[in-house]
A = this chain, B = another copy of it.
Amino acid sequence: MSRHVHKRSRKSGLPPGSLIHIGEKKAERTKITIIDYDEKNFEVKEAKTVEECFPFKETATVTWINVDGVHDDEIIGKMGGHFGVHPLILEDIMNTAQRPKLEDMGDYLFIVLRMISFAGKKKGILSEQVSLIVGPNFIISFQEGEGDVFDPVRERIRSGKGRLRKMGPDYLAYALIDAIVDNYFLILEKFGEQVEILEEELVSDPGRRTIQALHTLKREIIYLRKSVWPLREVISGLERSGSCLIKESTGIFLRDVYDHTIQVIDTIETYRDMLSGMLDIYLSSVSNRMNEIMKVLTIIATIFIPLTFIAGIYGMNFDFMPELNWRWGYFAVLALMAGIGVFMLIYFRRKKWL
């Protein structure tokens, strides 16, 4: 879990607005992609320098500038400078340990989201910070590294089908948020498969490893919950912000993605409950097994300890032990022992210990 706690001591003592990257460096170099469109035109290109983005600030078309890699303070600084982004916001973009949040800066909105990916059974769930600057005719999105969940959105812009090309940057912002939330469902399904596998393992062959896996999943789900929970407020904040950057017609779409977020949280809670229940079942099955073992020990011991005692008596070497000279003494003792054993078995059965 320690990987979920970011180190940010490097920043301690610096003045506010210092552009220091906090988090793992996930990309070698910063890659900037520009998608510019309106209802009729569509253009996509990769920018070689930050300056190539600058003209798009003024155009009437909608421009989506996507920045992969937030570790380069120079690029982030220049970009922020031209588009009029406050230094504290730039600091937040580079510090990738933010919770999801929304800030209305008047000229633009600043949205922080967390994009989740599933890095296999060992590594578990990873999260990446996505920051959006939503301006009057542009969106700048910052991601920690390449590879994201926005390809369907790009495809919808390219194809020109649907509403996307006809609407402004607020709808594009919605589409990006929706893509991220949709992706949560995929992650949750994969998570759910793991939970089911674990549940079967718990029934068939529980062991120390199962309990560790259970605790790992529990931690993952708590981490996931922390990433998703504040998103509710972000989206409902967007809907009710009253900012002129969000058109009224986008409201219903935001409400829709809000409902999806609630569903995601609901599912997370369901998995949490399931995992808690599984821990209970594990513990009670362990104690059941323990009891069963103890019962066998008790029964074996309580039957044979008295019998062994009897055998011990007739193993004594006293000169005068009349039973030893009896003709049927040996067989009488054997019969006695068998009798005691049978009596005990009946007693145990009646006590329902068998």
Contact = CB atoms under 8 A, between A and B. Distances in A.
Contacts of A267: 5
- Indicate how many identical chains form the complex: 5
Contact of A311 (B98, B295, B298, B312): B312
A284 interface: yes
Interface string A94-138: 000111010100000000000000000000000000000000000
Contact of A309 (B274, B304, B314): B304
A226 interface: yes
Interface in A264-304: 266-267, 270-271, 273-274, 277, 279-281, 283-291, 293-298, 300-302, 304
A42 interface: no
A101 B259 contact: yes
A299 B192 CA distance: 39
A99 B311 CA distance: 71
A327 B318 CA distance: 9
B99 A15 contact: no
B291 A294 contact: no
A212 interface: yes
A317 interface: yes
Interface of A is mostly: helix
A214 B183 CA distance: 35
Interface residues of A, number: 116
Interface of A: 1-2, 4-5, 7-9, 11-16, 86, 88, 91-92, 97-99, 101, 103, 151-152, 156, 161-164, 175, 178-179, 182-183, 185-186, 188-189, 192, 195-196, 205, 208, 211-212, 215, 218-219, 222, 226, 252-253, 255-257, 259, 262-263, 266-267, 270-271, 273-274, 277, 279-281, 283-291, 293-298, 300-302, 304-309, 311-321, 323-330, 333-334, 337, 352-353
The 4 closest A-B pairs by CB, nearest first: A311-B312, A13-B152, A314-B316, A318-B330
